Amino acid sequence: MSDVYASISAVHGYVPDDVLTNHDLEQMVDTSDEWIVSRTGIKERRILKGEGKATTDMGVEVVKGLLEKSGTDPSEIDLVILATVTSDMNFPDGANTICSKCGINNAFAYDISAACSGFVFSLFTGAQFIKTGAYKKVIVLGVDKMSSIVDYTDRSTCIIFGDGGGGVLLEPSEGDLGIRDAVMGGDGSGREYLYQTAGGSLKPASAETVAAREHFVTQIGRPVFKAAVSGMKDSVTTLLERNNLTKDEIDWIVPHQANIRIINTLASMLDFPMDKVVVNIDKYGNTTDGTIPLCLWEFESKFKKGDKIVLTAFGGGFTWGSILLDWAYDSN
């Protein structure tokens, strides 16, 4: 049983059609295209518009794409895990809603909330169900509608976030390729630097919390930046050391797309060349749980069977984690 690996057999992504550019934001808050690009690397982001449109609508598109690409019938799916901080409602789980809309009737499903680390946490969790032999086909999603919790009068946060996401299908590896190892971490003291004040049991929604604009993302930039670089760098370093790998043996690093300065600093501290670091923050911004699966989807054609890939993320809480995997197929 220890020789069974969970491998990614398909990947798909989805972003809404509506584009919010830096020039659009210049009309909304006191900012500029040059300022945003130089500090974040973001040029535009996607926004999910339309009455009644929510996170699960994007998740449904991802799942449909995964099923079609892999030739999988919905009845074959055993488990669906959705990483998100913007599920349609506090309950029921968004994953269950997605299953219902996609005709997945033989699976159980649930959400995981770990801010921007959620997809990495969920991927490693889903891999365990494959590794133990409990299940054969597991879908792991990372999707967020961040526009639903972003204050578009706050120039420090509204420039960062976008909507979208992606996901993967996990199956037992036919060889020795798949998810190898993971290093996860957390530090609850970080809750005072990146959070959403109201809407939970501590401070339920009320007319007062809405008037005070307490249902939006709040971020204190400097301590988040420092902790993000440290958490991802340390977890990647531990992962490589534990698996007796050097940086030269890693083909790709896929980091959470939070800020280009964080990505550049991480690559520098790991002494890893930027041409092997996957970056698409310029087009999509920070989609929270969606960034890593969107990177896998967009760069799928560049990955070759057997490539050693490291996924690494950091999120509010604080949370962080890195996964080592072997890519299991050639996309072409």
* CA nearest neighbour of 85 among 21, 142, 45: 142
Confidence band of 2 (pLDDT split at 50, 70, 90):
low
317 lies in the same domain as 231: yes
Flag whether pLDDT at 31 surpasses 50.
yes
128 lies in the same domain as 194: no
CA distance 165 to 13: 6
DSSP 8-class letter at 132: T
pLDDT tens figures, 93-136: 999 999 999 999 999 999 999 999 999 999 999 999 999 999 99
Confidence band of 4 (pLDDT split at 50, 70, 90):
confident
Q: Encoding tokens for residue 30?
A: 């006191």
Domain region containing 319: 180-326
Mean pLDDT, residues 319-323: 98
| 332: in domain | no
| 81: in domain | yes
pLDDT value of residue 174: 74
CA 142 to chain centre: 5
| 331: in domain | no
231 lies in the same domain as 124: no
Q: What is the pTM of this model?
A: 0.97
Mean pLDDT, residues 223-244: 97
Mean pLDDT, residues 139-155: 98
Confidence band of 1 (pLDDT split at 50, 70, 90):
very low
pLDDT value of residue 246: 97
| 1: in domain | no
39 lies in the same domain as 170: yes
45 lies in the same domain as 64: yes
Percent of the chain past pLDDT 90, that is, above it, reads 97
Point out the domain boundary residue: 176, 193, 212: 176
199 lies in the same domain as 223: yes
Question: What residues are annotated to the active site?
Answer: 116, 256, 286
CA distance 315 to 320: 6
12 lies in the same domain as 160: yes
Flag whether pLDDT at 325 surpasses 70.
yes
232 lies in the same domain as 136: no
| 101: in domain | yes
98 lies in the same domain as 83: yes
pLDDT value of residue 175: 80
CATH number, domain of 243, equals 3.40.47.10
Q: What is the mean pLDDT of the chain?
A: 96
* CA nearest neighbour of 79 among 136, 158, 22: 136
Mean pLDDT, residues 205-209: 97
138 lies in the same domain as 56: yes
74 lies in the same domain as 210: no
| 202: in domain | yes
CA 49 to chain centre: 21
126 lies in the same domain as 88: yes
Point out the domain boundary residue: 176, 200, 235: 176
Is 152:292 a contact under the CB 8 Å cutoff? no
Give the orientation angle of helix 260-270 with respect to helix 221-242, to 10 degrees.
40
| 227: in domain | yes
Flag whether pLDDT at 207 surpasses 60.
yes
Mean pLDDT, residues 270-292: 98
Domain count, the chain: 2
Point out the domain boundary residue: 129, 160, 176: 176
Place of tokens 């509608």: 145
Would you tell me how many other CB atoms lie within 10 Å of the CB of residue 237? 15
